[in-house]
Amino acid sequence: MLHLKISKRQDPLGWRSCFVIFGAVALALFFSALLLALRGTPPHEGIFVLFKGAFGSRWAIEDCLIKAIPIFLCSLGVAIAFRLQIWNIGAEGQFCMGALGATWMALSFPDQPAWVVLPAMVIMAVIAGGLWGFIPALLRQKMQTNEIIVSLMMNYIAILILDYLVYGIWKDPTSFGFPMSPTFSDAAIVGKIGSTSVNWGLLHCAVLAVAVWAFFRFTTIGYELKASGSNVKAARYAGLPYNKQVFLVMILSGALAGWAGFIEASATVNRLQPSIMVGYGYTAIVVAWLASLNPFYIGIASILLAGLRVGVENLQLDLQVPAAFGGIMEGFILLTVLAGGFFIYYRFSFTAKQ
Amino acid sequence: MVNKMRIFKVLLTITLLLGLSSNLAAKELKVGFVYVSPVGDAGWSYAHDMGRQAVEALDGVTTSYVEAVPEGPDAERVIQNMARKDYDVVFATSFGYMDPMLKVAKQFPDTVFMHCSGFKTAKNMGNYFGRMYQARFLSGMVAGAMTESDIIGYAAAFPIPEVIRGINAFTLGAQSVNEDATVRVVWTKTWYDPATEKEAAKSLLDVGADVIAQHQDSPGPQEAAQEKGVYSIGYNSDMSTFAPKAHLTAPVWNWGPYYQSVIKEVQEGTWKSESVWPGIETGIVGLAPFGDMVPQEIRDMVAAKKAELVAGTTDVFTGPIKDQQGKVRIAEGVQADDKTLLGMTWFVEGIVGTTK
């Protein structure tokens, strides 16, 4: 009789782990197809329409990239904190504060040229987002609060501040009382790349991703962060400044989410309004885990998840599949990929039982 | 010569007929709808989807929709995709779709865009809404007549003019039959969140409200009223199935006939961009059937008032109307114009709560 044996691998799978991930995604697609079949939609057609809507045309790819930009930046941010095992669930609020900071500058300097107002917006977005990351870190280090709870609660505070401002002093006088800021001046809007509909935020993503990668690869502080991330106790014992590191990663994390808020307010919405908050900060957490916190994989996962969200609209329009299907599919993918992670570190073998 | 002429005429007729019939066949319209919430919510999007089904029933029309589309950049993409997929008419049914739709309308001059509840138009983009406040006034009369504690609770969505106008009309309706009636307002800052909206209704019940009205899309407040054993006024569609013992009536949307008329105009080529705000006389707004507990004299009273509104002999916002501070906002004998109504950000006297 065969006996199932589970043992830890000597070395993790390395590059071959991509097969595990492909397998996991394929399994998620299979479950999704099954679900489509159950409600009477031809599954192959459904999956085809989904992919066509996500990546099947130039527009689709552009739409998908636009949506991937804020998800990517937020995710890059939370991944930095996660690597130190600091659980920043507050990207949503940090994103919101970034949008507020950028809007503040855009509304304060309506007549300045782009080279003045855009940098001012970026700086204020980064400061505001970073501050929103700093507060949970401060409370954690000084008062031993749990950063998961505090950063999560701060999301609601940030959104209430946004509401307060757009219902109050920032309300556009020509909006008939509806909660939205005036449209930004042209100088305060991040433009589009050439003839595409994708904005220059894509370039910001590339530059920031390389910067984050280089920071961890080439600087002493980055190296120390990596060391602390792999074993907090050992790092403390080695005399690494753990307290300072916590502040640093939370501020960096918040600053990147804030940058995402700036791009979203400036490039895609062109103003501040409550509907700017669509949960990118939470999606970012999913993406960071799917990508095992690696900046390059985060890029891929952001695009895939953005593609899924865009593609599901196509599925609704062409085959009348309900909107909730997208959420279910996302859940399947997260579940199978995370479960698949098990196979990267463990192996199964069958031995004959005696 | 005559013969040739006759042949020519016959040929011409045949060509014209063929041309005409192929033209008719080509008029197969594709109509897309964009909804802000899932259609199964018994609320706002559900009411619009009933309208869509009425359009689908027309000859030569196919429809589809995308639901739960967030306002902002996502809406722009969805509307744009409909235009790219050769949809001839796109209806966007939430205020926040206005600017995204305007952007897309400029890119696709041959597509007809219709936006609900906004104020911006373009050559190929019209906007429409219904005078829901008239139906709100009538439902307020029912609430004012049925309350015993003289406290009516109102679970309100967002402090925007549309909602504030509705609360004001409702209050004026209640006061028209019951001078002592006060309306207590709680903001949930949600359009669809059953748990929050139910809690809001409970907080109103705790301060003594014995009729609950609402503006959100979920039947949460209805359920809260039924559990407490008091009355409720629904919204959007007939919500009586959720709270049969509580549901007095509901101001409801009836988009079907309007949507059909727009599509017929597009088919006949007579459609042109305009801002329309039809009232109760067109049937676009109305009241859901009364619950059994509403006595006949109240039904008659409401029916009489409705007849006046339909005939246009009376109006909801005719002065003198005072705000909460007692300041006269609409002077004696003056009928508020549409601009005042669309930008309404103050509460009438008799409302307990703030517009923030």
Q: Do domains B27-128+255-278 and B132-250+288-352 have the same CATH topology?
A: yes
Tell me the per-residue pLDDT of A319-337, one tens digit each, with 9 for 90 and over: 989 988 988 998 998 899 8
Count CB-CB contacts under 10 A for residue B125.
Answer: 22
CB atoms B32 and A318 under 8 Å: no
- Using a 10 angstrom Cβ sphere, with 0-12 exposed, 13-18 middle and 19 or more buried, the burial of residue B296 is exposed
**A316, part of any domain:** no
Its ipTM equals 0.85
**Dist CA A159 CA A99 (whole Å):** 11
Residue B13 has pLDDT above 90, yes or no: no
CB atoms A317 and B65 under 8 Å: yes
Looking at residue B10, its pLDDT comes to 59
Report angle CA B183, B185, B190 to the nearest 5 degrees.
145
Average confidence (pLDDT) over B213-223: 94
Looking at residue B27, its pLDDT comes to 63
Q: Which of A52, A69, A176, A308 to mutate to test the interface with B (most CBs of B within 10 A)?
A: A176
Residue B321 has pLDDT above 90, yes or no: yes
Of the pLDDT bands very low, low, confident and very high (cuts 50, 70, 90), residue B22 is very low
**Dist CA A325 CA A312 (whole Å):** 8
Looking at residue B3, its pLDDT comes to 62
Count CB-CB contacts under 10 A for residue A173.
Answer: 7
CB pairs under 8 A between A and B: 76
Of the pLDDT bands very low, low, confident and very high (cuts 50, 70, 90), residue B56 is very high
Average confidence (pLDDT) over A221-227: 91
In order, the DSSP letters of B101-129 are HHHHHHH-TTSEEEEES----BTTEEEE-
- Å between A177 CA and nearest CA of chain B: 6
Q: Which of B41, B66, B69 to mutate to test the interface with A (most CBs of A within 10 A)?
A: B66
Cβ within 8 Å of residue B47, ≥6 positions away: B236, B237, B252, B253, B254, B255
Looking at residue A149, its pLDDT comes to 95
Average confidence (pLDDT) over A74-95: 95
Picking from A74, A55, A66, A62, the residue whose alpha carbon sits closest to that of residue A283 is A74
Higher model confidence: residue B295 or residue A235?
B295
Cβ within 8 Å of residue B69, ≥6 positions away: A313, A323, B34, B35, B36, B75, B78, B97
Contact predicate A152/A89, CB 8 Å: yes
Looking at residue B343, its pLDDT comes to 85
Q: So where are chain B's domains?
A: 27-128+255-278, 132-250+288-352
Residue A346 has pLDDT above 50, yes or no: yes
Looking at residue A230, its pLDDT comes to 86
The answer to whether residue A273 neighbours chain B at the CB level (below 8 Å) is yes
Sheet holding B29-34, edge to edge: B61-66, B29-34, B89-92, B112-116, B125-128, B275-276
- Listed range (A21-25, A44-48, A177-181, B132-136) with the worst mean pLDDT: A177-181
Query: Token digits for A188?
Result: 């305060």
**A260, part of any domain:** yes
In order, the DSSP letters of A4-17 are EEEEE-SS--GGGH
Q: State which H helix or E strand residue A352 sits in.
A: strand A346-352
CB atoms B96 and A273 under 8 Å: yes
**A64, part of any domain:** no
Tell me the per-residue pLDDT of A1-33, one tens digit each, with 9 for 90 and over: 677 788 887 776 667 777 888 888 899 999 999
The conformation of residue A266, written as its DSSP 8-state character, comes to I
Q: Which one-letter amino acid corresponds to residue B173?
A: G
Residue A88 has pLDDT above 90, yes or no: yes
Residues of chain B with pLDDT > 90: what percent?
79
**A78, part of any domain:** yes
Tell me the per-residue pLDDT of B276-292, one tens digit each, with 9 for 90 and over: 999 999 999 999 999 99
Picking from B171, B137, B139, B138, the residue whose alpha carbon sits closest to that of residue B323 is B171
Average confidence (pLDDT) over B115-136: 94
**Dist CA A15 CA A12 (whole Å):** 9
- B132-250+288-352: CATH topology is Rossmann fold (3.40.50)
Contacts of B96 in chain A (CB under 8 A): 273, 275
Looking at residue A261, its pLDDT comes to 97
Looking at residue B25, its pLDDT comes to 47
**Dist CA B212 CA B165 (whole Å):** 17
- Å between B55 CA and nearest CA of chain A: 16
Looking at residue B21, its pLDDT comes to 46
Cβ within 8 Å of residue A172, ≥6 positions away: A178, A180, A181, A182, A183, A271
CB atoms B64 and A317 under 8 Å: yes
Q: Which of B38, B80, B158 sits opposite A322 (nearest CB)?
A: B38
Average confidence (pLDDT) over A213-239: 89
Tell me the per-residue pLDDT of A158-174, one tens digit each, with 9 for 90 and over: 999 999 999 889 988 87
The conformation of residue B328, written as its DSSP 8-state character, comes to E
Looking at residue A80, its pLDDT comes to 95
Q: Find, in chain B, the residue whose alpha carbon is nearest to that of A309.
A: B74
Please, what's the b/e burial string for A97-119 (b: 16 or more CB within 10 A of its CB; e: otherwise)? bbbbbbbbbbbebeebeeeebbe
Looking at residue B24, its pLDDT comes to 47
Residue B2 has pLDDT above 60, yes or no: no
Report angle CA B119, B124, B126 to the nearest 5 degrees.
30
The answer to whether residue A324 neighbours chain B at the CB level (below 8 Å) is yes
Average pLDDT of chain B, as a whole number? 91
Q: Which of B77, B95, B96 sits opposite A310 (nearest CB)?
A: B77
Report angle CA A216, A217, A222 to the nearest 5 degrees.
30
Parallel, antiparallel or unpaired: strands A346-352 and A2-8: antiparallel
Residue A35 has pLDDT above 70, yes or no: yes
Q: Which one-letter amino acid corresponds to residue B232?
A: S
CB atoms B70 and A324 under 8 Å: no
Looking at residue A185, its pLDDT comes to 94
CB atoms A275 and B96 under 8 Å: yes
Q: Which one-letter amino acid corresponds to residue B13?
A: T
Number of domains chain A is built from? 1
**Dist CA B234 CA B216 (whole Å):** 9
For A80, the domain range is: 70-289
Residue A272 has pLDDT above 60, yes or no: yes
Of the pLDDT bands very low, low, confident and very high (cuts 50, 70, 90), residue A343 is confident
Contacts of B115 in chain A (CB under 8 A): none
Q: Which of B69, B80, B161 sits opposite A176 (nearest CB)?
A: B161
Residue B267 has pLDDT above 80, yes or no: yes
- SS3 category, B156: strand
**Dist CA B301 CA B172 (whole Å):** 15
Average confidence (pLDDT) over A194-198: 89
Average confidence (pLDDT) over A236-257: 93
Look-up: residue for tokens 């006297």?
A: B349
Looking at residue B4, its pLDDT comes to 61
In order, the DSSP letters of B297-318 are HHHHHHHHHHHHHHHTS--SSB
For residue A272, which phi and psi values (nearest 5 degrees)? -105, 130
**CATH number for region B27-128+255-278:** 3.40.50.2300
Higher model confidence: residue A97 or residue A343?
A97
CB atoms A176 and B66 under 8 Å: no
Picking from B8, B213, B32, the residue whose alpha carbon sits closest to that of residue B115 is B32
Residues of chain A with pLDDT > 70: what percent?
98
Q: State which H helix or E strand residue B23 sits in.
A: helix B2-26
H runs (alpha helix) in chain A: 17-38, 43-55, 58-83, 91-108, 114-143, 147-167, 201-218, 220-230, 232-237, 242-263, 280-290, 295-319, 324-345
Average pLDDT of chain A, as a whole number? 91
Contacts of A167 in chain B (CB under 8 A): 159, 356
Average confidence (pLDDT) over B295-312: 95
Average confidence (pLDDT) over B201-220: 95
Residue B8 has pLDDT above 70, yes or no: no
